[in-house]
Amino acid sequence: MLSKIAVAGSIPPSIPVEASILNRVLEVLERVECLPADAVGALRFGSDGLVLVESRAVCWAAAPGMRPRLTQLLRHEHAPPLSKDQLREVYRQCKDDQIPLADALLAVGNLSPSALRTALFRHTAEAIAHLASNGTHFGGFVAQPSYRARFPFSTAEILAYLGARCDTVLAAAAAAELEVSLVPETSGWAFLRDAGMGAPVVVAARGGPPLPGAEMVEISLWVANLFDVTGVFDAGVHLASASFRGLRYVVAWRSAGTYFAAVCANRAGAARLVAGLEQKFRNAERVGVSV
Amino acid sequence: MLVEIDSGRVLGPLPAPAGALPVSEVVSAVPEIFGAQALLKHRLLGEMAVLSELLDLVLISPTRVHVLQRVPAEPARALVSVAGRENSVGWVVSEARSRLERT
């Protein structure tokens, strides 16, 4: 499997790109998703690994050996890049004044909220990948007071970020397609059928409410099987809309070799999504573009 | 065309509306389409599957619209319709639903 490194200007990840770790990442994320909806606390892994969770969202994660990583990410995101001394001063202020790191960093000046979110998210996602890769022993859940995290992250976006490592260019294009296609109250994602993992690899996720990772993978399997079967009688099938008992509505499509799936809140939402996608496919056919 | 879901056996053609296309090819795939989730249930080793019973499915290609609908009063059966893409998808689905109600 070939991996495609992110475009120039970004710092490389601290984790391997292989899709093989994604199975174990799913296991780690499942521990988050299986917590009670109102649970707040830390999932502990070994002696130094932890994933802070609130309401099934990940607030922070750390793994052994990652101590310098946040500094590296923050310095990269800051404009101009922060010096190590400046960052050390920020940490000291946090500790002395007992203020959240996020607030202190934003107060420094040239770090936008989106840049801070990016740095914290990358650290969190990479830490989860490290924990999964190392196979660190799960040490249980410790309840704690609310973190009131400024930037909680869904397990879906963490899974997609790590899956996107298989092909960052394709993942970016898929994310853009989801941004313009999805309708309100719809959770959608893009996946590769097999990036060397023997199972679908989620590479982009948008909308909400986000689904658990294992559900996204299972629905992706169903979508992949469906397009295989329809190929028997009509190889051109590119869009499908299904309703299931229990008021579940799934729309699936494929475009430029990428597969997409979306779970809609109701039949009307599914119909709107299909209408929008149908228009896109018709426009592409009209100008002779293969989708 | 009315089809037995588990076996794909045709239970009897219905009068075809104008513009309908042959459905025999789709019919052969009905057991697998409606039974696909069963495979996933097995894979989950007995846990409840994320996707339960498929009720209806619309498949769109550049040339055709396929509509497969489980018959509500007889869930072991499905109504299969195929129409050309020159018709709007909304119209095709609406017509298929009307036929289902008359089944």
pLDDT digits (tens, 9 = 90+) for A201-248: 999 999 989 999 999 999 999 999 999 999 989 999 999 999 998 888
How confident is residue A162, by pLDDT bands cut at 50, 70 and 90?
A: very high
Q: Which of A129, A130, A120 is nearest to A65 (CA)?
A: A130
Q: Chain A: give the shortest CA distance to residue B35, in Å.
A: 11
For residues A166, A168, A174, A180, the Cα torsion angle rounded to the nearest 10 degrees is 150
CA A9 to chain centre: 21
In one-letter notation, the amino acid at residue A268 is A
Interface test with A, best of B27, B32, B60 (most A CBs within 10 A): B60
Question: According to the model, what pLDDT value does residue B25 have?
Answer: 81
| Mean pLDDT score, B16-24 | 62
Cα B102 from Cα B49, distance rounded (Å): 32
Could you give the CA distance from residue A63 to residue A133 in angstroms, rounded to a whole number?
11
Closest residue, chain A, to B33 (C-alpha)? A226
Confidence of residue A19 (pLDDT cuts 50, 70, 90): low
Contact (Cβ atoms closer than 8 angstroms) between residue A204 and residue A174? yes
Between these two residues, A114 and A88, which has the higher pLDDT value? Answer: A114
Going from the C-alpha of B71 to that of each of A223, B67, B98, the distances in angstroms are 23, 12, 12
pLDDT by residue (tens digit) across A104-117? 777 776 678 888 89
pLDDT of residue B36: 55
Q: Which residue has the higher pLDDT, A264 or A80?
A: A264
- Note whether ipTM > 0.90 here: no
Q: And the tokens for B9? A: 């056996």
Contacts of A214 in chain B (CB under 8 A): 50
B58 closest CB neighbour out of A241, A246, A248: A241
Across the interface, whether the CB atoms of B64 and A234 are under 8 A apart is answered yes
Judging contacts by C-beta atoms under 8 Å, the chain A residues touching residue B52 are: 244-246, 248
Look at residue A9 in the predicted model and tell me its pLDDT: 42
Q: Give the DSSP H or E segment for A276.
A: helix A267-286
Q: Summarize the confidence of residues B56-81 as an average pLDDT.
A: 93
Q: Which of B29, B40, B53 sits opposite A222 (nearest CB)?
A: B40
Q: Is the CB of B51 less than 8 angstroms away from the CB of A218?
A: yes
Which residue, among A258, A277, A58, has the nearest Cα to A172 in the 3D structure?
Answer: A258
Residue that is written with structure tokens 């119209």 in the block: B91
Contact A275 B90 (CB under 8 A): yes
Is the pLDDT at A51 greater than 50? The verdict is yes
What is the Cα–Cα distance from A49 to A136, expressed in whole angstroms? 8
Chain A to chain B, count of Cβ pairs less than 8 Å apart? Answer: 94
Q: Is some CB atom of chain A closer than 8 A to the CB atom of B58?
A: yes
Percent pLDDT > 90 in chain A is 58
Q: What is the mean pLDDT of residues A40-56?
A: 93
* Distance of alpha carbon B49 from alpha carbon A262, whole angstroms: 17
Q: Is B61 on the interface with A (CB under 8 A)?
A: yes
- Give the whole-angstrom CA distance, residue A77 versus residue A119: 7
The bridge status of strand A186-192 relative to strand A40-45 is unpaired
Is B52–A239 a contact, with Cβ atoms under 8 angstroms apart?
no
Phi, psi of B81 (to 5 degrees): -135, 145
Q: How far is it, in rounded angstroms, from Cα A74 to Cα A102?
A: 11
SS3 B54: strand
Q: Which of B33, B50, B60 sits opposite A215 (nearest CB)?
A: B50
Residue whose tokens read 């590296």:
A72
How far apart (Å, rounded) are the C-alpha atoms in residues B60 and A234?
Answer: 9
Residues in chain A, how many? 291
Within 8 A by CB and 6+ apart from A106, the residues are A113, A116
Best to test chain A binding among B3, B37, B44, B58 (most A CBs inside 10 Å): B58
Pairing relationship of beta strands A57-62 and A201-207 according to DSSP bridges? unpaired
Query: pTM, whole model, 2 decimals?
Result: 0.87
